[in-house]
Structures are given as structure tokens and as C-alpha cells.
């Protein structure tokens, strides 16, 4: 208790200094000037010290007049523990009706306590606001996700309703028309769709061949000749392919003369086979690679539609750069048990099933 009395005044002075540096709106204390506030604060401190002294003297007198030993811990015996509880009960019942001591009217203690409580409430409210703001952000994200899901559901519903309406109209039209007329119209519509599909197929085939000849063939030829993998080196010209690559993938110096030309042609024949030569004009490395890629894709397409004798897989004659590129591009895949066989990835198989 003496330690509390000695620390009370400095603690209150420190707290008062913090309050004076705070904003006027947070104190809600009507103080005409700093001097008056210090006077009221000193009066409050003296009042608290007097009250603490009175309580200390009363406690000392009570300890002196008491014949029993003061117990600071509960007894381990049940009867003694019950007696202690009864003593505490009587003491609380005796103190409860007594009027609590209140500070004088000019004391700033109520204002200090009020300010402390308000500050604590502000801190707690700020914590609640931050937590609520975080929950609000999460709820907004969930709401946006649900709104997108609802929009997708509405779009799917509208598409299904439109499709159902079209099927209904087609069914009514079919019932209203004779079978021969309906069959004739269906045959005409099927032929038109086939013509449209054929036109689109030729257009896509032409675009694919142009891409192979202008962009892909040179990179495939470079990889087949021991150069970089397709996609690592984009600008590959005819001179680079004619010079060839070393064992480390570096471009060799270009050699001239008939011996160099003959060696180049033998290298083309050894890499892509005799099929690379057409007539009297031998194909270059780029032309040979383009022919190899287009031939492999054509064989894979025929196998996919069932026009091949070997089923949906095509047996590879060699480990070519074209085959490796199609596998890396996830356009084709090798047989799980035989790496010499390859087939195209059927992207529509799941939809058909």
C-alpha cells in the first residue's frame, strides 16, 4: 500500500501530461487555462492521498485489533474453507450498504476517468472497424464472384431456352411437312454444311501450310541438323541451314564449292530421305523439313478420321524434330507403351462422349 501511495502522484502527473497534449475534443473537460487545471489536479491528488491514508490506517487498526491470524490463501480443509467464505460474505454484506466516497465537485477525477474510458472505447471501436472492413472486403469479393456465377447461369439459361425454342420450331415444321419434302430439305441443308466445312477446311489447310513453309520449317530443319530446339532461335535463314551446326549446336562457317554442295545434299538425303528430292531441282533443308512436317500432319489427320490401316496411331520412321515439336505443342501424343507410334490429340472426344 505504501508503494502505491508513493507512485500515485507521479503516475497521475504523467497521465495528466498526456491528456493536456491530446486534442480538446477528446477531453471534454472545461478548463479555463493550464494553471487552473494544475490546481484542480493537485487538489484531486491530495484528496486521493488522504483517502488512501484513511483506508491504510483503518486497515492497520483492523489488523491490530484482530485476534486471528490473517490468511492470505484459501485453506485446504473444507470446514475452514467454508468459514473463510462466510467471513468474506459477512464483510461484503457489511460494506455493500455503505455510501461510497465520492470526489468533491471541483475534482477533475471524473473527467479523467471519463476520458480514459472514452479512449478505451475509441480503441476498441477502431479495432472493430478494421475487422469489419476486412470482412466487408471479403464479402464484396464473394458477392462479385456470385454475381458472375449468376450472370453465367443466366447466359446458359438463355442459350438453352433459345435452343429449345429452335428445336421446338424445327419439330413443328417437320411434323407439318411431308416426309419426302423434309428429307429433301434436310439433304440440301446437309450438303450446304458440308460445302461450308470443306471451304473452311481448305482455308485452314492453306493457312497451316503457309505457317509451316514461312515460319516453322526453318526451325524444324535446324533442330534436325543438330541446332537449337524449335522456338529457341527465330531468325534462321537458308545460309545458316546450308552451313549446318556443330556438335555443340553452334553454326558452322559456310563453305563454297562443288564438294560442299554435294556434302549438303548427302546430309539432306541422310536426314530426310530420298523423298526430299523432286525432279532435277533438289530441295533445300527448309523445303525438306516443310515436306516432312506436312506429310506427318497429313498422316496423323488420316489416322484420326479412321482412314489409316494402323488405327488412330501413326508409326514413325525416325525420331524427327517435327514429331518432337508436335508433342511439345500438345497437338500430338506418343503411344504410352511404344514411343515409335503417335496420334493427334482428339480435343472433341470428351464432348462426343
Buried b (16+ CB within 10 A) or exposed e, 109-143: bebbeebeeeeeeeeeeeeeeeeeeeeeeeeeeee
| pLDDT band with cut points at 50, 70 and 90 for residue 321 | confident
Q: What is the pLDDT of residue 164?
A: 94
Judge whether 45 and 12 are in contact, CB under 8 Å.
yes
Reported as a single tens digit per residue, the pLDDT across 112-135 is: 888 889 999 999 999 999 999 999
How big is the CA angle at 312 (ends 307 and 313), to the nearest 5 degrees? 120
Give the Cβ contact number of residue 217 at 10 Å.
25
Q: What is the pLDDT of residue 352?
A: 47
Q: Which helix (H) or strand (E) holds 161?
A: helix 109-176
Whether residue 55 is predicted with pLDDT greater than 60 in this model: the reply is yes
Region of poorest pLDDT, from 100-114, 172-186, 205-219:
100-114
Which residue did the predictor score with more confidence, 200 or 274?
200
**Cα distance between the two ends of the chain:** 87
Q: Percentage of the chain with pLDDT > 70? A: 79
Q: Average of pLDDT values for 303-318? A: 82
Whether residue 59 is predicted with pLDDT greater than 70 in this model: the reply is yes
Q: Average of pLDDT values for 78-103? A: 80
Whether residue 181 is predicted with pLDDT greater than 50 in this model: the reply is yes
Residue keyed to cell 472492413: 133
Q: What is the pLDDT of residue 178?
A: 80
Distance CA 215, CA 231 (A): 10
The grid coordinates listed for 56 are 491504510
Distance CA 33, CA 41 (A): 13
Which residue did the predictor score with more confidence, 239 or 326?
326
Instruction: Work out the mean pLDDT of the chain and round it to a whole number.
Output: 79
Show me where the domains of the chain are located. Answer: 191-352
Which residue did the predictor score with more confidence, 172 or 337?
337
Based on the number of CB atoms within 10 Å of its own CB, is 270 exposed (0-12), middle (13-18) or buried (19 or more)? exposed
Distance CA 206, CA 246 (A): 35
Distance CA 23, CA 29 (A): 11
The grid coordinates listed for 257 are 564449292
What phi and psi values does residue 232 have, to the nearest 5 degrees? -75, -35
Whether residue 192 is predicted with pLDDT greater than 90 in this model: the reply is yes
Region of poorest pLDDT, from 24-38, 92-106, 143-157:
24-38
The grid coordinates listed for 301 are 489427320
Region of poorest pLDDT, from 22-36, 298-312, 324-338:
22-36
Reported as a single tens digit per residue, the pLDDT across 1-44 is: 444 445 555 665 565 565 555 544 444 444 455 677 777 777 77
Distance CA 141, CA 144 (A): 5
List of residues 6+ apart from 112 with CB closer than 8 A: 15, 16, 19, 44
Q: Which helix (H) or strand (E) holds 343?
A: strand 341-344
Judge whether 284 and 241 are in contact, CB under 8 Å.
yes
Region of poorest pLDDT, from 19-28, 61-70, 143-152:
19-28
Judge whether 283 and 235 are in contact, CB under 8 Å.
no
Whether residue 175 is predicted with pLDDT greater than 60 in this model: the reply is yes
What phi and psi values does residue 70 have, to the nearest 5 degrees? -75, 125
Reported as a single tens digit per residue, the pLDDT across 236-295 is: 877 777 777 777 777 777 777 666 666 777 777 767 776 545 555 667 888 888 888 888
What pTM was computed for the model?
Answer: 0.48
Amino acid at each position: 500500500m505504501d508503494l502505491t501511495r508513493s507512485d500515485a502522484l507521479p503516475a497521475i502527473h504523467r497521465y495528466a501530461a498526456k491528456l493536456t497534449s491530446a486534442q480538446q475534443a477528446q477531453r471534454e473537460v472545461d478548463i479555463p487555462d493550464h494553471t487552473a487545471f494544475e490546481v484542480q489536479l493537485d487538489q484531486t491528488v491530495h484528496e486521493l492521498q488522504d483517502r488512501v491514508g484513511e483506508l491504510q490506517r483503518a486497515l492497520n487498526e483492523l489488523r491490530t485489533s484482530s485476534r486471528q491470524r490473517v490468511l492470505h490463501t484459501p485453506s485446504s480443509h473444507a470446514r475452514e474453507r467454508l468459514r473463510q467464505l462466510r467471513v468474506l460474505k459477512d464483510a461484503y454484506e457489511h460494506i455493500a450498504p455503505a455510501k461510497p466516497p465520492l470526489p468533491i465537485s471541483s475534482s477533475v477525477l471524473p473527467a479523467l476517468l471519463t476520458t480514459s474510458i472514452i479512449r478505451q472505447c475509441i480503441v476498441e471501436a477502431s479495432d472493430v472497424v478494421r475487422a469489419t472492413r476486412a470482412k466487408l472486403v471479403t464479402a464484396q469479393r464473394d458477392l462479385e464472384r456470385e454475381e458472375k456465377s449468376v450472370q453465367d447461369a443466366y447466359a446458359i439459361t438463355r442459350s438453352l431456352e433459345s435452343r429449345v425454342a429452335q428445336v421446338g420450331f424445327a419439330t413443328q415444321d417437320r411434323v407439318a411437312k411431308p416426309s419426302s419434302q423434309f428429307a429433301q430439305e434436310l439433304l440440301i441443308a446437309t450438303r450446304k454444311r458440308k460445302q461450308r466445312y470443306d471451304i473452311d477446311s481448305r482455308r485452314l489447310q492453306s493457312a497451316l501450310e503457309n505457317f509451316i513453309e514461312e515460319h516453322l520449317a526453318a526451325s524444324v530443319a535446324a533442330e534436325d541438323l543438330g541446332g537449337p530446339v524449335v522456338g529457341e532461335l527465330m531468325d534462321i535463314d537458308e545460309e545458316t541451314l546450308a552451313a549446318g551446326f556443330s556438335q555443340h549446336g553452334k553454326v558452322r562457317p559456310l563453305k563454297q564449292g562443288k564438294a560442299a554442295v554435294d556434302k549438303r545434299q548427302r546430309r539432306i538425303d541422310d536426314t530426310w530421305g530420298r523423298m526430299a528430292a523432286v525432279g532435277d531441282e533438289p530441295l533445300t533443308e527448309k523445303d525438306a523439313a516443310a515436306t516432312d512436317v506436312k506429310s506427318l500432319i497429313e498422316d496423323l489427320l488420316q489416322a484420326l478420321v479412321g482412314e489409316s490401316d494402323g488405327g488412330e496411331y501413326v508409326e514413325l520412321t525416325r525420331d524427327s524434330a517435327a514429331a518432337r515439336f508436335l508433342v511439345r505443342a500438345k497437338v500430338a501424343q506418343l503411344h504410352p507403351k511404344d514411343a515409335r507410334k503417335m496420334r493427334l490429340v482428339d480435343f472433341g472426344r470428351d464432348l462426343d462422349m
